[in-house]
Amino acid sequence: MKFKFVQIIFFAISVSASAATTLTPGLVSVSTSVNTDGSTDIGTFTVRFTLTASGGDVYIPQFGALQSYTDFQGTPATGEIAGLLTGITYTSEGDYFVVLDGESSQFQFTEVVVPSTAGLYSMSLQDLLWFPEAPTATESHLTFDSGYRTSYVALFAPAGAPEPSRAMLVMLGLAGLVLKRRR
């Protein structure tokens, strides 16, 4: 009996691809509401959206990551403005929301405005800070398109602030908005 020896060599090849990590947004909904507590209008602007990671996990700081723009009739709004990014469906690690590679997570940005001047207000998402693969990686930015914008709502200013002009009230009436004047 003859034996023939065949040498089989197993080896592993490690291929490192430098595929870029991407973050893709998807609009879920936008909404606005106005609450009047008797002397002050408070506008609440909300944009709900998904973020899908591809090519690696994405880390988003839970605080200070999202920039929005509050519009007052075509100019930057003034007054008391506060915004909060919250995760609806997400994973977290420390102070970061984590969107896992190949998955989508849903987020909501809510901004509350107490105006210093009466008029029409709207809010839009502008820029989101995120990190590919790890929070220590080089930062990246996602710029939102114009679809991530709420509709305009009429907000009256706190007591002592000037009332909207007659022309403003006529314009709002023509837009089909029902206004409640303070006495």
Average pLDDT (66-81) is: 82
Neighbours of 111 (CB within 10 A): 24
Question: Is residue 14 assigned to a domain?
Answer: no
Torsion of CA 89, 34, 126, 162, to 10 degrees: -160
Question: Is residue 16 assigned to a domain?
Answer: no
Average pLDDT (40-54) is: 92
Look up the domain containing 121 and give its range.
Answer: 22-174
| pLDDT for res 158 | 61
Residue 27: alpha-carbon gap to chain centroid: 10
Question: Is residue 66 assigned to a domain?
Answer: yes
CB-neighbour burial class of residue 138 (10 A; exposed 0-12, middle 13-18, buried 19+): exposed
Question: Is residue 104 assigned to a domain?
Answer: yes
The CATH number of the domain holding residue 78 is 2.60.40
61 closest CA partner among 126, 137, 144 = 137
Classified as helix, coil or strand, 108 is strand
Question: Is residue 11 assigned to a domain?
Answer: no
Structure confidence at residue 19 as a pLDDT band (50, 70, 90): low
How many domains, in total, are found in the chain? 1
Question: Is residue 78 assigned to a domain?
Answer: yes
- 156 vs 176: which has the higher pLDDT: 156
Per-residue pLDDT of 124-175, as tens digits, reads 999 999 999 777 778 899 999 989 999 999 988 765 544 444 333 433 343 3
Question: Is residue 179 assigned to a domain?
Answer: no
**What token pair was written down for 157?**
């200013």
Question: Is residue 137 assigned to a domain?
Answer: yes
